[in-house]
Chains A and B, each alone.
Chain A
Amino acid sequence: MATAATVPTAPVAEALPPAPGRAPRRAPRGLVVGAIAVAVPMALPLAYLAVVVAQDASLAWDTIWRDQTLRLLLRSSALAVAVTLSAVALALPLSWLVTRTDLPGRRVWTVLTTLPLVIPSYIGAYLMVSALGPHGLVQDLLAEPFGVERLPSIYGFFGAWLVLTLFTYPLVLLTVRATLARLDPQLEEAARGMGRSGWSTYRTVVLPQLMPAIGAGGLLVALYVLSDFGAVSILRFDSFTRVIYASYRASFDRIGAASLAALLVAAMFVVLWLEGRTRRRFAYYRTAPGAARRPQHVRLGPWRWPALAFCATVALLALVVPVSVLVYWSLQSVAGDPNWSEISSAAVDSVTAAGLAAAIAAVCAIPVAMLAARYPSRLAAVIERVTFTGYALPHIVVALTLVFFGTRVALPLYQTLAMLVFAFVVLLLPLAVGATRASLLQVSPRLEEAARSVGRGPLAVLRTITAPLAAGGVAAGAALVFLTAVKELPATLVLAPIGFETLSTEIWTATSVGFYERGAIPSLVLLVISAPPLYLLTTRHQP
């Protein structure tokens, strides 16, 4: 990531205490076993890809080395880089404005700028096309007074970049804002005291401490973009995932699709490696005695007007425009007497599946995050990276993985709720691991060591010291998994029990036959359901 280059190492390294975990501390065996037990099922997609590719290795080889393949991988990578950079560029000023300044209505802006997270990108893309397309609703509004006959096309790279940025930047915003809000102001005050300017302090003291958060959020964005299919297909951007889907759809070519998916996994490891470089080896917890104080709020003065305009523009594009279209359609559809009992039972099914997935993912994330944060080692890194596999793959590949293993190994569970929930965990575990790890990094291991030194056992320490302090991160991880699982579609279609209809399958049913108005109400219900976990995410660590 380009921002990594701006991190000045020397002054910061001096300002911070020596790195944790350098001294080789052995991880407790129970923890290692727990983390491996979580990682093994997460590696199922890898096993599936290997099994399928091995059926015809030479065909797989041919597929990978087609000119087309590499060209599309490059296109998708370019999109992923562009979206990640712009998501970071949006998230950094937003997070600073809502945590560290006297911006009027900070709480409201906090919620409004996070809300776009709950809009599924396939709906978001469709709404943006309806609103901003060459002949969309906005053009309709402009046609009469200004005689605008068509707006510039939003299809292709530009549209995909815009839409994916608008609906994924909250992933960076969440991680960065949480870190920023908890950052001890002492270091900054010391820097200011030594005569550094505000910007220079931010650059040399604050930004380096934000790097892990930026890296973690950026990673989620980049991998999301690589695996997304819904938005790119609606915005007609020719991406790598489109070819994977096409292989299944056009030719039932599982071997071709699997070899391309394997290539995507390789790309994922490159991204993970890049992200690993943003995690510097210094401490992110405070070491001085006493509690962290709350940072003072910077007075914006006249700058608050451009700041407000900035927040308003982001909220307008990412939230107001799409939600207005939804509301407009919903009103039309209410006239057509929607089936409320169907919608409410779909809401119950959605919450059930996503809630179970969130709870299980939160529990599974703990050993993985604990190992990565406290006992960094090669094994810990491998385990953590393996858990990303499902997140980086198009959902149809993960769904077929579970079809393959489900019918061969766990037939009684096949197409049950348990299977669907398991699929969600495989797809979304990294969201929980990331949030949990970030909160663990901010708990000083010295507290734990102190507890150990007075004779507490490791489990007792976990229970009385670590768990309470990291609980916020675990809850945030669960909330993120919930928000993402509740809008999942491809795996739900294949793996849900028959008759188990979620809001996303309702939306799909409506839109696949062209009744976009009918999909609007379930979409709005989806947004409403997402509100409580989102509230949990945004109010945590509010200064």
Chain B
Amino acid sequence: MPMQMPRKSALLFAATALCALALASCGGNDDSGSGTITVYSGRSEELIGPLVSRYEARSGNDVEVRYGDTAELASTILEEDDKSPADVFFSQDAGALGALEKEGLLAQLPADVVDDVDPRYRSRAGRWVATSARARVVAYNRDRVKRSELPRSILDFTDERWKGRIGWAPTNGSFQAFVTALRLLKGEDAARKWLEGIVANDPEVFDDNEPIRDALGKGELDVGFINHYYVAQARAKEGAEYPVEVYFPPGGDPGSLVNVAGIGILESSDQQEEAERFTRFMHSREAQEHFARDVKEYPVAAGVAADRRLVPLERIQQPRLDLSNLDDLRGTLKLIQESGAL
């Protein structure tokens, strides 16, 4: 009878579901096997996946990677506290590493790992270290803006003639790191004035760097505040006719901030040695060449050179700043909110 059918099938369904669940839970997080490390990666699989495979082949050990958004993974680690399944945190920016460091969740790295990179690109306490560097730039559409029109400092984009021509991403991590740098370099008041000045210029608000670059490419925008490699990647794909150029405001201007992607090892990890080995691999020549060639970031170790078409890292007149201090984002967010940017 049809009356009986739904109940029977529902019961069967529920029973199957429970069995499947029980089975699934048995196969749970099991990384007790020696040498297997778990990495939480805020960098994409596209970027890190090939390197991880090569590392696995080289070391004979498994690496389990959870890919996600850098900040969400950092928030996850903060909630997990000392119970985190992660051994390594691979972050898209210094701020997230700084936040974990501040909570005492990151372990001391061995001296040789720390010494691989320039002191500017690592934690002072030696608890995280850069794997590659990325520069903030003023990107502009050369058909709509002449190079000579661009001001000497990013601070001058508050001028009225930039009204309705700017794109920015106030919720983006890299942008917020830049605002933190601005506060540290020029003081709270100057940072507030700058934010309010840009807001007064009716900027177009984006969620991320990429859509800003694309809007610049389509000529919907004149200038945008983004990271250098977005433009370099598009140029490599589209060729010389691509109309977006980058500009580094000179003289240690906050607009030319150089931030990093980096690695920290969790204090709670019982695989410290293996995690260190993984970190060293990210400083190896092949890993550094991968970042330089495929991502167009600046390599930071093993003497690898950056892409020839980029402005060399040494030529960027970057501001003097301890990147560890970029973790003070709470004040930045408050400022961004109060200025009406968000």
User: Using a CB–CB distance below 8 Å, which chain A residues touch chain B?
Assistant: 66, 68, 134-135, 150, 233-234, 236, 238, 242-243, 245-254, 256, 352, 355-356, 359-360, 362-363, 396, 399-400, 403-404, 407-408, 411-418, 421, 463-464, 467-468, 471, 474-475, 490, 493-494, 497-499, 505, 509, 512-515
Closest B residue, CB atoms, query A494: B76
Contact residues in A for B342 (Cβ distance below 8 Å)? 68, 238, 242-243, 246
Do B28 and A252 touch (CB < 8 A)? Answer: no
Contact residues in A for B219 (Cβ distance below 8 Å)? 135
Instruction: A243 to B176: give the CA distance in the assembly, Å.
Output: 14
Closest A residue, CB atoms, query B6: A471
Distance from B149 Cβ to chain A, minimum over Cβ atoms (Å): 23
Instruction: A238 to B2: give the CA distance in the assembly, Å.
Output: 51
Do B7 and A250 touch (CB < 8 A)? Answer: no
Closest A residue, CB atoms, query B11: A363
Contact residues in A for B2 (Cβ distance below 8 Å)? 468
Instruction: A400 to B68: give the CA distance in the assembly, Å.
Output: 14
- Selected from A254, A363, A417, A493, the residue in CB contact (under 8 A) with B67 is A493
Closest B residue, CB atoms, query A464: B3
- Asked if B329 lies at the interface with its beta carbon under 8 angstroms from chain A, I say yes
Contact residues in B for A248 (Cβ distance below 8 Å)? 71-72, 75
Do A252 and B25 touch (CB < 8 A)? Answer: no
Do A400 and B76 touch (CB < 8 A)? Answer: yes
Closest A residue, CB atoms, query B3: A468
Instruction: A412 to B6: give the CA distance in the assembly, Å.
Output: 34
Do B14 and A363 touch (CB < 8 A)? Answer: yes
Closest B residue, CB atoms, query A413: B25
Do B47 and A252 touch (CB < 8 A)? Answer: no
Closest A residue, CB atoms, query B103: A252
Closest B residue, CB atoms, query A356: B17
Do A252 and B74 touch (CB < 8 A)? Answer: yes
Instruction: A498 to B338: give the CA distance in the assembly, Å.
Output: 39
> Given A253-B330, A416-B29, A471-B10, A498 and B72 touching (CB < 8 A)?
no
Distance from A468 Cβ to chain B, minimum over Cβ atoms (Å): 4
Number of residue pairs spanning A and B whose beta carbons lie under 8 angstroms apart = 165
- Asked if B184 lies at the interface with its beta carbon under 8 angstroms from chain A, I say no
- Selected from B81, B96, B220, the residue in CB contact (under 8 A) with A252 is B96
- Chain B: interface residue total (CB-CB under 8 A): 63
> Given A243-B342, A246-B342, A509-B44, A493 and B68 touching (CB < 8 A)?
yes
Closest B residue, CB atoms, query A420: B24
- Asked if B80 lies at the interface with its beta carbon under 8 angstroms from chain A, I say yes
Closest B residue, CB atoms, query A402: B79
Contact residues in B for A234 (Cβ distance below 8 Å)? 207
Distance from A489 Cβ to chain B, minimum over Cβ atoms (Å): 10
> Lowest 8 CB-CB distances: which A-B pairs, in order?
A471-B6, A417-B24, A249-B71, A407-B83, A251-B329, A359-B17, A251-B330, A403-B79
- Asked if B247 lies at the interface with its beta carbon under 8 angstroms from chain A, I say no
Instruction: A474 to B99: give the CA distance in the assembly, Å.
Output: 46
Instruction: A253 to B210: give the CA distance in the assembly, Å.
Output: 25
- Asked if B51 lies at the interface with its beta carbon under 8 angstroms from chain A, I say no
Do A493 and B25 touch (CB < 8 A)? Answer: no
23 contacts between A and B (CB under 8 A): A68-B340, A68-B342, A234-B207, A243-B342, A246-B333, A248-B72, A250-B173, A252-B71, A252-B78, A253-B333, A355-B17, A356-B17, A399-B76, A400-B76, A404-B79, A407-B79, A408-B83, A415-B85, A468-B4, A471-B10, A497-B24, A497-B29, A498-B29
Do A246 and B205 touch (CB < 8 A)? Answer: no
Contact residues in A for B72 (Cβ distance below 8 Å)? 248-249, 396, 490, 493-494
Instruction: A178 to B40: give the CA distance in the assembly, Å.
Output: 45
- Selected from A68, A415, A416, A513, the residue in CB contact (under 8 A) with B47 is A513
- Selected from A352, A418, A509, A513, the residue in CB contact (under 8 A) with B25 is A418
Contact residues in A for B207 (Cβ distance below 8 Å)? 233-234, 236
- Selected from B14, B27, B67, the residue in CB contact (under 8 A) with A359 is B14
Instruction: A413 to B80: give the CA distance in the assembly, Å.
Output: 13
- Selected from A413, A467, A468, the residue in CB contact (under 8 A) with B28 is A413
Distance from A369 Cβ to chain B, minimum over Cβ atoms (Å): 14
Do A246 and B171 touch (CB < 8 A)? Answer: yes
Instruction: A242 to B292: give the CA distance in the assembly, Å.
Output: 33
15 A-B pairs besides A400-B75, A415-B85, A416-B24 with CB distance below 8 A are A236-B204, A247-B333, A248-B72, A249-B72, A249-B171, A250-B333, A252-B96, A363-B14, A400-B79, A413-B28, A417-B24, A468-B3, A493-B69, A497-B29, A498-B66
